[in-house]
Amino acid sequence: MYAKSQATPETIKVQSDNCSLRLQFSTKYNPIFGGKRKHQGLGMKDTPENWQKAIAIAYRIEGDLQHPDWQQLFDPTFAKYGLKTKYAAELKLAAPIPEPEPEMTVGAMWEDYLDWKQPQLQPTTFELLYRISYTNPIKGKVYDKKNHVYLTSDNPLWNERLDGQINDCLSRFTCCTTTKRSIMSALSEAFTRLQSQGKTRLTVNPFAGFDSVFTPNKTDKYKPVVTSDGSLLRWWDSEDDEVNQNERDRRAFTKEERDIIIKAFYESDKPATRHAAPLVEFLFLTGCRSGEAFALEWKDVFLGRDKDYIRFSKSYNGRLKNTQVPKTGETRIFKMYPKLQDLLLKIKPVDVQSRNLIFKQQNGKAWYIGQFAKLWNTYELKCSQKTYTYPGVVTQLVEEGKISGYLSPYHTRHTFITLMAHAGTDLLLLATACGNSVDTIQRHYLGINTEASFPDI
């Protein structure tokens, strides 16, 4: 049984072996001792006084071994250090002490981390967040919206070694605060994993604590913040911790605009557009995410006297061509109301099978957002040297002045929540049905009425 040493050098430890003291050399020194780990008895009993002498000897030996001229200074017989060993003859040094391996680059650490992280995440989350939103800033890539290309900086964090100028590279991150915080949290986790595998000599996590720099002070969440342009940002105007831009842009169509859009789809002269009309109406009447509607099967719809609800438990991603759990990872129950129930009864086939998709393209395949957006927005088809433009329903309505402005298909969700919230719907019911929070609905869909006052009762 060995006792732990007290304050000893980093590479040579003092140990107690059967009440006698000895030195244990780090595996770093194996090459100079014939490839084996070296233990050297000191011929001293395990007493407090001898511990101090042993530590002094250890420091002296380590000082010689760490010196550039260690081969001239180090005495392998240990006589120089006052030890009487049975090795009177001078030992031959088998090999020089190897130089320590250079620290891994941030990019190498990140790639290793992604291989480990990928099985733990939904495919969409991994691809869109970790492979794109997080990896690009680490590589120093900044998206140029005007030219639709990624621009690369000269000194990205990706090429920096873990013991290098990490702070300088982090200061160049140009992504939003929420993304910065998420990246730093992931990098910190990646480094902690590296430490647990013994792949780094660093004892201090260079990424720890940076996520808090990008995190607002929780104790001051209600305190107004002065922005860079001098305007005052109140707590209900501030952004949520939401990476998805579609979720953060909560503009909505009016009720009249909603009805105009639905009617335009139903009355279109294009069969493909008319075929998508029930899907458009459903999105407006439920506020579900498009992927959830694309994956919905008839077995998820319960129409009956005692059961009138929809179960949202999965989402279809056309980019990855797979069905996965919803964004929140939870199954939601959506209670039906007459207008929504009428829609589903109207489109339900007589010979429907429980696993049949409710909404399909004309060719019978599942919808995906890219195909659906072509009917909603302007669609361009490049053929040879010509480009043909096909205006979508909503784009055309804007051009004709029938609605005030263009919003993406995702804003069917924001329109539903906004209209329901302002109609006096119970906020807990609404939040639960839409996979949201009451706080978010209050802040971003209802707003704060600063003119409100108590009634005289």
What's the pLDDT score for residue 258? 95
CA distances from 229 to 175, 217, 225, 232 (A): 19, 21, 11, 9
110 band by pLDDT with thresholds 50, 70 and 90: very high
Phi, psi of 419 (to 5 degrees): -65, -40
Q: What percent of the chain has pLDDT over 90?
A: 19
**pLDDT tens digits, residue range 425-448?**
888 888 888 887 887 887 777 765
**pLDDT tens digits, residue range 89-100?**
444 444 555 566
**pLDDT tens digits, residue range 140-167?**
887 666 666 667 766 678 888 888 777 7
Cα gap 134→127, rounded to integer Å: 10
Tell me which amino acid residue 83 is. L
118 band by pLDDT with thresholds 50, 70 and 90: confident
217 band by pLDDT with thresholds 50, 70 and 90: very low
What's the pLDDT score for residue 246? 59
What's the pLDDT score for residue 90? 42
**Rg over CA atoms, the chain:** 33
Two structure tokens written together for 286: 């439920």
Residue 302, strand partner residues: 309
Write the CB contacts of 193 (distance below 8 Å, at least 6 apart in sequence): 113, 116
Between 177-181, 219-223, 306-310, 382-386, the lowest mean confidence (pLDDT) is in 219-223
Cα gap 450→229, rounded to integer Å: 23
**pLDDT tens digits, residue range 252-292?**
899 999 999 999 999 999 999 999 999 999 999 999 988 89
Two structure tokens written together for 89: 């003859």
Q: Is residue 319 over pLDDT 80?
A: no
The domains of the chain, with CATH numbers, are 12-81 (no CATH), 106-215 (no CATH), 255-446 (1.10.443.10)
CB-count exposure of residue 329 (10 Å: 0-12, 13-18, 19+): exposed
- CB of 282 closer than 8 Å to CB of 290: no
The predicted model gives 301-326 an average pLDDT of 75
What's the pLDDT score for residue 359? 93
Q: Which of 188-192, 303-307, 322-326 has the highest mean pLDDT?
A: 188-192
Dihedral of the alpha carbons of 387, 388, 393, 397, in degrees to the nearest 10 = 80
Helix axes 411-422, 427-434, angle to 10 degrees: 160
Residue 389, strand partner residues: 380
Long-range contacts of 11-14 (CB under 8 A, 24+ apart): 11/62, 11/65, 11/66, 12/58, 12/61, 12/62, 13/58, 14/51, 14/54, 14/55, 14/58
Residue with tokens 């290098």: 164
Q: Is residue 452 over pLDDT 60?
A: no
What's the pLDDT score for residue 193? 86
Two structure tokens written together for 324: 């996965």
Between 9-18, 68-77, 168-177, the lowest mean confidence (pLDDT) is in 168-177
CB-count exposure of residue 417 (10 Å: 0-12, 13-18, 19+): buried
**pLDDT tens digits, residue range 190-209?**
888 888 887 887 778 888 76
Please state whether beta strands 12-17 and 149-152 pair in parallel, antiparallel, or not at all (unpaired).
unpaired
What's the pLDDT score for residue 286? 93
- CB of 175 closer than 8 Å to CB of 133: yes
Q: Which one is predicted more confidently, 63 or 108?
A: 108
* Average pLDDT of every residue of the chain: 78
Other CB atoms closer than 10 Å to residue 115's CB: what's the count? 9
What's the pLDDT score for residue 85? 58
Please state whether beta strands 386-390 and 379-383 pair in parallel, antiparallel, or not at all (unpaired).
antiparallel
What's the pLDDT score for residue 272? 92
The CA-based diameter of the chain, rounded to the nearest angstrom, is: 104
Q: Is residue 71 over pLDDT 70?
A: yes
Q: Which of 39-48, 108-117, 205-214 has the highest mean pLDDT?
A: 108-117
What's the pLDDT score for residue 206? 83
What's the pLDDT score for residue 227? 54
243 band by pLDDT with thresholds 50, 70 and 90: very low
Cα gap 175→440, rounded to integer Å: 23
The predicted model gives 20-33 an average pLDDT of 82
